Each structure stands twice: as C-alpha cells, then as structure tokens.
Structure 1
Amino acid sequence: MSTITPHAVIAFAGAHRIASGQLALVALKAKELLDRNDAATVLIFDDITSEQVEVDFRGSAEQVLQRLSATAAAAVAAEHPAGANVQETARGPGRPKLGVVGREVTLLPRHWDWLNQQSGGASVALRKLVEEAKRRGEERDLVRKAQESAYRFMSAMAGNQVNFEEATRAFFAGDQLRFEELSEPWEIDIRDHARTLAARALAPASAE
C-alpha cells in the first residue's frame, strides 16, 4: 500500500467507480462520498501499478489536501536529498559520463570471427547486441509489471466475482478473448477496469 503516487488513480466505492484522475481530485470526490456516508468503503488504486493508495480522510477537505501535499513534498525531498549532486559538480576533466569505456571481453575464436565480419567491426556489433538484449529485457519487464498490476487489482476487487479463477487462468495464459468471455458477468466497473489492465499486459504478447 502506498501513501503517494505520481500516477493517475482510480477510486471505487464498493463495486462502483466513483472517480479517476489526479490523486488530489479523486481524494476530494472520495471525501465528499464519505462525508455523506461514513459507512462507505472506498479503495483508491494507482492506475499503473494497481497498488492501493492510502489517504487519510480525517478532518476537512482542506486538511486532507494539506496532508497529501506534505506527503508528496516529503517524497520529493527523499528522492533528491541536499548535496546529492556535490560529487558530480566537483568532477574534474575526463571521459564524458556516457562515454565509451574499455573493458576486457573474453570470447571464443568463432565469436571473434563473426563479430569482425559485422558492419562497423566487433565493438559496434557488440554494442548493437547489448542494446537489443536490453530492449527485449525491458519489454519483458513491462509485460511482467502489467500482469502484476492487473492481477493485483483483480485479486482485490474481483476475487468474489463469478469465474474469477478461470478468468485469471485465461489471463495468465494470454487468452484475451477467453478472459473477456469469463469476466463478462462481473460488476461492470470492476470488469471494465480489469479488462483495461489486462489489455496492457496481453497486447504486447498478441502483437508478436
């Protein structure tokens, strides 16, 4: 559970979506609902990670916003502590920060033969191979995070919905049509957001 997020959020009261957008605006909508009905249960989710976002709704709307602002300021200060750039500014002349660095690479003769035949030579070929591997790794990481986000939301909001287990199996199997079929009976707002999150994870796989 998080107390602050840089992303948009989405709030639910029970099975009904009540607001989405920036945290401060969503918090105000949730506060209005809770002031009218203090028995309501409101859950706020980060729209990217589906982590639940904790908001202290005590006091007035102004006090709620003040606490959110103070928490955000503290998070920024923690990420950028004073003096963090002292070492960088004190840096003397030398290689650029993103410059080429020479390191020893040990390969079999056939690997060197192949690299030397590539356009630009061994160094250029190695850099291209590294960049390609890095890109593929980042794509896999994005898919994994999207899967985790979708399942995190579904576990919190759809665990009691009909076909939940079968739908999640279809989701992790990459079967988008089957997932949508099985999630059709779910409460509309839960179903629609779950499908949005699932599409983020399933679209890259279906595009390959």
Structure 2
Amino acid sequence: MLNKQLLLTLSLSALLLAGCSTTHYISITPQANVATKNLTNDRVIKVSTSTQLTNSVGSIKTALNERASIYTTNDINESVKESVLSGLRRLGFTPEQGVMPPADFKIEITKMSYVTKVETLKTVATLDFELKATLTAKGQTYTANYGSQKIKEYGTMPYQQDTEDNMNDLASQTVKRLLSDPNVIILLK
C-alpha cells in the first residue's frame, strides 16, 4: 500500500514538473467603440490594411511549466479593416460615397504579441497591439502610430477565451485611438 502511494505521488510530481502543452486558437475581431456623431465626408474614403505579421501571436509559459502557443484563426487584415469602416460609419462618415479621387487611408498592423515571463510563482504577460496609419487626403499626408499594451498576471494557464478576450480588448482600444485622432477626423471631413 505504501509503495502504491509513493508511486502515485512520484507520478503526479513528474506530471506537474513536465507541465502540459496546448495551443490557443483565437480570433482577432476589434470593435470600434467610438461615440456616434454626425460627421460627413465629401470624398470617398478608401481603407486598406496590410501586415507582415504571421498568424503566430506568441506563447504562454506559466510558473507551473504549462505552455501554450497562440495563433490567430482569422484574417486580421480583414477584421481590422471592417472595424475601421464600422467606426467611420458610427462617426457619420459614408466611406463608399463622395467624389474622386478618394481619401487614401492605409493601415498597417505592425505588432500583435503575447509574451510571458515567470516571476517566482506567478506569470506576467505583456500584450501589445500596434497600428501605423497613413492618410492621404486634401493634398496632405498624415502618418501616425497607435498602440495599446496590457499587463496581466496569473498563477495558472489562462483559458483560451480569456486570451482571445484580452487580445480583442487591446485591438479595440487601438482602433478607437486611431478613430479618435483629431488629425484623421479633419482630413476625412
């Protein structure tokens, strides 16, 4: 009986020390949480998005040696573009209507990361999401960078849904910053 308990204890200890590995598949769908306004545009607004990033967002390693790789499952270019267009419409703009040539609104997704480090018995995660926007309208070009960062602490592996919610919250904050930039609003009016 004593040998069975010892064997069980050693087995459980080995399992804990070995950790477990998993994969978190998340969908990045930022929401343009801007206040509804009655702005208008006289030119068509052409929104395009691009990125050099892959679908790998990062990884999680906890103090308990749990591991998870994080990957996106959707087209982030399309989801950011749809979020910006939705936000422009909430502001009152009609991107598809107006005279030509269009206002050219180029958005590059420059950073999307989830990085962890272990500190004693807790895991500290640093989440980042950054955009670079270049708007050419009314004979002017305006370029700006927008970013958001979040620090999370936890003891064990977060659920996949929590990882997705945190990254989407960060992406939404960044899109809101872009759409709240007064220089962008002035050039689009």
Answer yes or no: same fold by TM over 0.5. no
Point out the structure with max Rg over C-alpha.
1
Q: Given the two structures, how large is their TM-score scaled by the length of structure 2?
A: 0.22
Q: Which has the higher contact order (CA 8 A, sep 6+)?
A: 2
Structure with the higher helix share, 1 or 2? 1
